Structure 1
Amino acid sequence: MRTVIFLSLLLVAIVIAEDKYDSIGDNININELLENDRLLKSYVKCLLNKGPCTPEVKKVKDTLPEALATRCAKCTERQKQIGKQLAKEVKKRHPELWNEMIAFYDPEGKYQDAFQDYLKP
């Protein structure tokens, strides 16, 4: 009986772990990115299909539509933290890029309420 319970718990843990994005964006040095406008703009250009992508940023780009649609349900806490920090900084320091991102990823404005909730501390 203990074996069955253990295996059931193990299966649940595996399913929960698989419901999260794998280390997408976890290796991005957030401080370096926020301190380097050229690098930040390069990442945003990738996300907007206006420039080349590093493999790491391409993963973020490929995941972004689903993350927006699901309120980042599969994001790890680290991914949520990085996303919030990046969004706040881009919005504050580069409003023109922020507006381009909104127009590109949410042209109908259907994610705005959810995203504002997401950005709250």
Structure 2
Amino acid sequence: MKLVVATLFLAVAVLAQEKYDAADDDFNISEVLDNERLLNSYAKCLLNKGPCTPEVKKVKDKLPEALATRCAKCTDKQKQIGKQLAKEVKAKRPDLWNDLVAYYDPQGKYQEAFEDYLKP
């Protein structure tokens, strides 16, 4: 019985580590999208053209892995934030969207997966 409990505990611990930290799930993405200065500042960080806040640096560090794994380690809230951000930037700031795509996916290997991800 102790072995079963220990195994279950270990499995839960491993599964918990499979996701990115949920501490930043309360991030207000609308605040960024509604503020051109803030959006530009974050974009400069993501594109290595400017300084990063600690919050955006976390995203920047995880973005390549998230793209490669279709956000497999993202929490549901992180996926929701990512979809909202991508849809709005793509629609309202295609210039910025194109810069981000060129930087993070120059060969276009994530395009099909990303389009599937953005579907409702």
TM-score range, shorter chain: over 0.9
Matched, 1:45 2:44: yes
Residue 24 to residue 102, structure 1, CA distance change in 2 (3 Å): farther
Ranges of 4+ aligned residues in structure 1 off by more than 4 Å: none
User: Superposed, which structure 2 residues align to 1:1-121 within 5 Å?
Assistant: 1=1, 3-23=2-22, 25-121=24-120
Rounded to whole Å, the distance in 2 between the matches of 1:10 and 1:88 is 39
TM-score (norm 1): 0.93
Aligned equivalents of 2:26, 2:77: Cα separation in 1: 10
Distance 1:113 1:24, change over 3 A: farther
Deviations 1:35-80 (A, max 9, x none): 1111111111110001111001001001100110111111111110
Count of equivalent residues: 120
Q: Give the Cα–Cα distance (whole angstroms) in 2 for the partners of residues 36 and 83 of structure 1.
A: 17
TM-score (ref. length: structure 2): 0.94
For residue 11 of structure 2, what is the amino acid of its counterpart?
V
Deviation at 1:15, TM superposition (A): 0.3
- Secondary structure of the residue aligned to 2:48 is coil
Percent sequence identity is 68
Find the residue that maps to 2:8 and give its secondary structure: helix
Unaligned runs of 5+ in 2: none
Q: CA offset at residue 28 of structure 1? A: 2.4
What is the Cα deviation at residue 7 of structure 1? 1.8
RMSD (CA atoms):
1.2
